[in-house]
Structure 1
Amino acid sequence: MNKIAIFFGPLDGSVHRVAKKVRDAIGEEKAELVPVKEASVTDLEKYDKIIFGISTVGKETWHSKYNNTDWANFLPEIGKTRYEGKTLAIFGLGDHVTYAQTFVNHIGLLGRELMENGGTLVGQVPTDGYEFDESESIIDGKFMGLPVDEDFEPELTDERVQNWVKQIRPHFGI
């Protein structure tokens, strides 16, 4: 398919809102929202250009099995296909105040899984301008994707999304 797929979860929350902002910045006719709750490996294989939207859960569920979250059910699908030749990017939501020790860690979790399956990520973001203590999403001094904090920095989301989409445009052919 020629459209860019934006696989995101969960539905009806902050990740969904930001997924819509990313889609709108790309152009609604060029991007399609795909809720991970309803997706499978077959859906992943349809697209050559994929953006993933994920949130990082709080400490109360950090070491649980995530049985009831959209991404917990979809993450095993990620490892069932190869990503060579695909254009991949990730945005992730996190709370840099309450969860400063695990800020947007799921960008790193997902990013590593994609890379282990042949994927190359675009859209890395410098850590400048972000306050946090630790993050598993950093490689070579940059986040593996776009961090967004809708809890404590919602006023920065639109500008961050716009700048990130400008950055990834050439990679996605838009």
Structure 2
Amino acid sequence: MSKIAIFYGPVGGAVNRVADKIKDAIGEDKVEMVAVKNASAADIEKYDKIIFGLSTVGKDTWDSSFSSDDWGKFLPEVAKVDYSDKTIAVFGLGDHVTYAHGFVDHIGLLGKELMEHGAELVGPVDTEGYEFDDSDAVIDGKFIGLPVDEDFEPELTDERVANWIELIREDFGF
């Protein structure tokens, strides 16, 4: 069995913590963690099963010790790959209180970029149980990936991750 890659960023914050939870739920021996900070299209090409994780607004936005360029530099690399023969899922962090009108929008931004390059995303999540006004991550009434709010609903993260893992288990073959 080939390893599942989790491409995530930024390193050291909430996205990293949730990526670790996903890795642990899948099984550490089945996962390769790849920080997007220095990753390239060639790194993506190495894997047939990929989970991407990012934040919409977070510590990297206001803390200069974090690079705000992680996904800004990596997104053009994402566009260089054909995903038609890959299994792809996305998770993202957001803040449903402060950013209710753009909750986890970057799941939508990344997901649409992936779909433009042949990806069929797995693991859509029902919007029920989430409070928000609008999100670019909702297509056909569902989030196209796993939304997590570590700012205001950290107590729901473990359950949301566990439920999502069950949704993607068969597609990812673990």
The answer for the alignment partner of 2:48 in structure 1 is: 48
8 Å contact 2:100–2:134 — kept in the other structure? Answer: yes
User: Once the two structures are superposed, what CA deviation does each residue of 1:9-63 show, in whole Å capped at 9, x if it has no partner?
Assistant: 00000000000000000000001110000210000000000000010027xx7xx
Residue 69 (structure 1) shift: 2.3
Alpha-carbon separation, structure 2, partners of 1:146 and 1:78: 19
Residue 81 (structure 1) shift: 1.1
- Which region of structure 1 is more displaced relative to structure 2, 1-10 or 145-154? 1-10
* Deviating 4+ runs (over 3 angstroms): none
The count of residues paired between Structure 1 and Structure 2 equals 167
The answer for the alignment partner of 2:138 in structure 1 is: 138
The answer for the alignment partner of 2:153 in structure 1 is: 153
Residue 68 (structure 1) shift: 3.4
Where do 1:27-38 residues align within 5 Å? 27-38=27-38
Letter in 2 for 1:163: N
Where do 1:46-85 residues align within 5 Å? 46-57=46-57, 68-85=68-85
Alpha-carbon separation, structure 2, partners of 1:127 and 1:116: 23
Alpha-carbon separation, structure 2, partners of 1:133 and 1:80: 33
Could you tell me which runs of 5 or more consecutive residues in structure 1 were left unpaired when the two chains were aligned.
62-66
- Which region of structure 1 is more displaced relative to structure 2, 1-10 or 104-113? 1-10
User: Once the two structures are superposed, what CA deviation does each residue of 1:125-168 show, in whole Å capped at 9, x if it has no partner?
Assistant: 00000000010010110000000000000000001001100110
User: Once the two structures are superposed, what CA deviation does each residue of 1:53-91 show, in whole Å capped at 9, x if it has no partner?
Assistant: 010027xx7xxxxx8321011000011110011000000
Q: Cα RMSD over matched residues? A: 1.2
Q: TM-score, normalised by structure 1?
A: 0.93
Alpha-carbon separation, structure 2, partners of 1:10 and 1:124: 23
Q: TM-score, normalised by structure 2?
A: 0.93
